A and B are shown apart, each in its own frame.
Chain A
């Protein structure tokens, strides 16, 4: 059988870093091929090479039996390669149809008729593959799952025969994932080759025909799911045994069992949020009547798919976004109108979802970042004088305790990898007197080792009696960390389960808007105006 893609000995360097060290990959027509590996393993780089975004430093690529040398995605698209990026490349203010026309050649005028024809063709394609999307909707109005379908449709619209999906399940609810793969299977059945990048073993085992595992820019092996277990794959991916993988592989979660449940129930809540309402950046209501409380030594997880108000919740609770209504109470004290600095003084901490924008200052050193929330105050000096020695000593201490990988405390924070940046943020936040911690997407984009570390730190803080609000779109994280779990959907909370009643399937359904299983009050909130 003729291969649809053959990549051999592909090498790609970025400065001193070797992202790909001679990787081979073969794709057959009609197969779904999974590209598995940790962050930084080179999966996305390899696919960007295939898509013409990067040109390889060495190696050969042939598509459909013909040697190719793509200089831009344009060449790749022309050769029938389509790519759905993890962060969608859609213009949110344009309609779906306009996004298809964007960048396509044609006369100077954009006639209504032409857009109507595009819409019609999209509808036909959507019907054929069951990718229901309204071509005339504006992209920002669509859910993440719908936007992904738009991206797939765009590839099909451009006659892609080889479809690359980068982390397609990362932002989907489990039911959406369950709907996505049969559609990909239908595409493959027509002879297309499908590659998807992932680090979720479940997806791979369930849906891939063949799996190629990458580690540190090298191919560890290519195998069939039937010939391997989740443990084997995890070991191939990471290069050692990983404790966390038990959770990912669907076994019983480890965290949180048998701890002082009774004590938690009797203790007064540290954080109470009542009727919180706030607008998003575009002026639409992003939070709608959100109420919850977190007890000392408890992790309340807010599960949910991206785009349902999580950043607004994070910001409103910490005082970075002014709520329109509702109250935030910390240890019985109303802090709704307090600045973040005041909340921090009262013992609130934040691990922000955007760690490079909110968590640290790239242009400052690691040492300065570690003392950032206390700069100009004892023990780090006064308002007029920084005590460099104290800052350096504090930094050396935290770097060791949180094993932050740095060349030295003077390294600029902007040069840290994702995992080390998060270690820095955690080190700074957890080294303060904390009553309550808001942790938003604390492991997003981190590799398995770093995730393990973050989870351990959160669990340790919880065991010290800190009330933790964990806002996460990662269902694995929610399942393994939560003492209680609410699901966020369209700006409201739609369920409230204790750990004993927590069920992966139910959470997954609620994330998609099916509000069965939740208490009646919460279910009603989901139907409120958005």
Chain B
């Protein structure tokens, strides 16, 4: 097979351009989950929020013929599931791991059922893609321009959102509360920070980001919905947060490793028709997950130091530990 078709000058730009685009759904979900975990909540429901966001945005975009409304619907359903997780885990203080898994199972069931009810037996419904927008001047920068500045609107919004949320942790009063609440809720409580309120807000943000991730996957990338379309990206997001050592920028970097391998395997499959006949496509499809995990595990081993928020996964009950 001809590697020039993948890594040649022109081809490389195409590869990198799709890498960053493919990374976005995971990146959004993972950055959102970083905020949630820094607040001390282990939300394993990300996959479910991503999947629900994907279906909601697809349905709204399909029937209302509006990408913007579709994206909003994706965010809204994510926020809704974030609220459900917050009610169960923060207000009721029940087991977070169970709640998260329940949300995934619930979302998988409901999305499959709804999609089947509406479109079962019909031809695969699709929605129109969205046009790429070239950012004036910037897109002319050789190499970088075509990769970063000839993408669709959702991509730009996602990047802005991911960076904003990453900065939220370090540069805002709310971010300070999030870090405090996740590390030692009792100390935060004594400093008159509402642990419950901070964790609720973090989960609403995290849910919204995951829902937005689903919307970007469907509206900006695939232009269709199918059962289990998120294909484990939510789980990868949870893993990225851990291996990214709860640092939003490292987490973002991990998401791009995932996006790159994803784009690469699709490219390799497309280019090497011959290999595809002997190597099962499932191997290619598994590649991004395997590579991402290997890279991030290596990063963790290399970093060594424990960066996990002190109170991750532990419910806080005011006044109990006086």
A73 CA to B192 CA in the complex, in Å?
Answer: 8
Which residues does chain A contribute within 8 Å of B172, judged by CB atoms?
108-110
A107 CA to B190 CA in the complex, in Å?
Answer: 21
Q: Which of chain B's residues has its CB closest to A72's CB?
A: B192
Which residues does chain B contribute within 8 Å of A102, judged by CB atoms?
176-177, 180, 188, 191, 193
State whether A92 touches B183 (Cβ < 8 A): yes
State whether B306 touches A281 (Cβ < 8 A): yes
Known interface pairs A90-B187, A93-B179. Does A109 touch B173 (Cβ–Cβ under 8 Å)? yes
Report B298-322 residues with CB < 8 Å from chain A CB. 304-306, 310, 319, 322
Quick check: is B65 within 8 A (CB to CB) of the other chain? Answer: no
Which residues does chain B contribute within 8 Å of A74, judged by CB atoms?
192
A278 CA to B22 CA in the complex, in Å?
Answer: 44
Q: Which of chain B's residues has its CB closest to A283's CB?
A: B305
Which residues does chain A contribute within 8 Å of B173, judged by CB atoms?
101, 106-110
Known interface pairs A92-B183, A92-B310, A282-B305. Does A103 touch B174 (Cβ–Cβ under 8 Å)? no
Determine the main DSSP class of A at the interface with B: loop
Distance in Å from the Cβ of B319 to the closest Cβ of chain A?
A: 8
Distance in Å from the Cβ of B83 to the closest Cβ of chain A?
A: 21
Report A287-325 residues with CB < 8 Å from chain B CB. none
Which residues does chain B contribute within 8 Å of A282, judged by CB atoms?
305-306
Which residues does chain B contribute within 8 Å of A103, judged by CB atoms?
177, 188, 191-193
Which residues does chain B contribute within 8 Å of A281, judged by CB atoms?
306
Known interface pairs A89-B191, A91-B187, A99-B191. Does A108 touch B174 (Cβ–Cβ under 8 Å)? yes
A210 CA to B175 CA in the complex, in Å?
Answer: 44
Known interface pairs A282-B305, A283-B305. Does A94 touch B176 (Cβ–Cβ under 8 Å)? yes
Residue tally, chain A, CB below 8 Å to B: 28
Interface centre among B177, B180, B304, by most A CB within 10 Å?
B180
Interface centre among B173, B177, B306, B310, by most A CB within 10 Å?
B173
State whether A110 touches B183 (Cβ < 8 A): no
Quick check: is A171 within 8 A (CB to CB) of the other chain? Answer: no
State whether A94 touches B183 (Cβ < 8 A): yes
State whether A89 touches B192 (Cβ < 8 A): no
A352 CA to B254 CA in the complex, in Å?
Answer: 41
Which residues does chain B contribute within 8 Å of A25, judged by CB atoms?
none
Which residues does chain B contribute within 8 Å of A496, judged by CB atoms?
none
Which residues does chain B contribute within 8 Å of A89, judged by CB atoms?
184, 186-187, 190-191
State whether B322 touches A53 (Cβ < 8 A): yes
Which residues does chain B contribute within 8 Å of A85, judged by CB atoms?
190
Would you mind naming 27 contact pairs between A and B with Cβ atoms under 8 Å apart? A53-B322, A72-B192, A73-B190, A73-B192, A89-B187, A90-B184, A91-B180, A91-B187, A94-B179, A94-B180, A98-B176, A101-B173, A102-B176, A102-B177, A102-B180, A102-B188, A103-B177, A103-B188, A103-B191, A103-B192, A103-B193, A106-B173, A109-B172, A281-B306, A282-B305, A283-B305, A283-B306
Instruction: State the B residues within 8 Å of A (CB).
Output: 171-177, 179-180, 183-184, 186-188, 190-193, 304-306, 310, 319, 322
